[in-house]
Amino acid sequence: MRFIYTKTFFIFAAVLVGILIALVMQVKGWFSPIEYLLLQLPRPAITAVNAVVRPISTVTSTLTSLPELVRENTALQSKNAELTQQLVELEQLRAQNETLRSELEFVERSPFTLEPCTVLSIDPQSTSDAIVINCGEDTGIKPGQAVISNGYLAAKIIHVGRFNSTAILITSSQSSVDAQSSRSNNEGVVKGSFGSGLVLDLVSQSADIKPGDLIVTAGINPEVPRNILIGSVDQVLSGDNDLFKRLTLVSPIKTHRLDYVFVVKP
Residue 115 has pLDDT above 80, yes or no: yes
pLDDT higher at 126 or 214: 214
pLDDT of 3 above 50 = no
Q: What is the mean pLDDT of residues 180-204?
A: 88
Q: Which residue type is seen at 209?
A: I
75 pLDDT more than 80: no
Rounded mean pLDDT, 187-197: 82
Beta strands in 182-243 (DSSP E): 187-193, 197-204, 214-217, 229-236
Q: What is the mean pLDDT of residues 125-138?
A: 82
pLDDT at 263 over 90: yes
Which residue would you say has higher pLDDT here, 119 or 78?
A: 119
What's the pLDDT at 26? 58
Q: Are 159 and 133 in contact (CB under 8 A)?
A: no
Q: Check residue 69 and give its pLDDT.
A: 72
Q: What is the pLDDT of residue 224?
A: 92
154: pLDDT strictly greater than 90 = yes
Enter the CATH code of domain 113-265. Answer: 2.40.10.340
198-222 tens-digit pLDDT: 999 999 999 999 899 999 999 998 8
pLDDT at 231: 93
pLDDT exceeds 60 at position 1: no
DSSP state of 225: -
* Average predicted confidence (pLDDT) for the chain: 79
pTM of the entire structure? Answer: 0.61
Q: Distance (Å, rounded) from C-alpha 239 to C-alpha 190?
A: 18
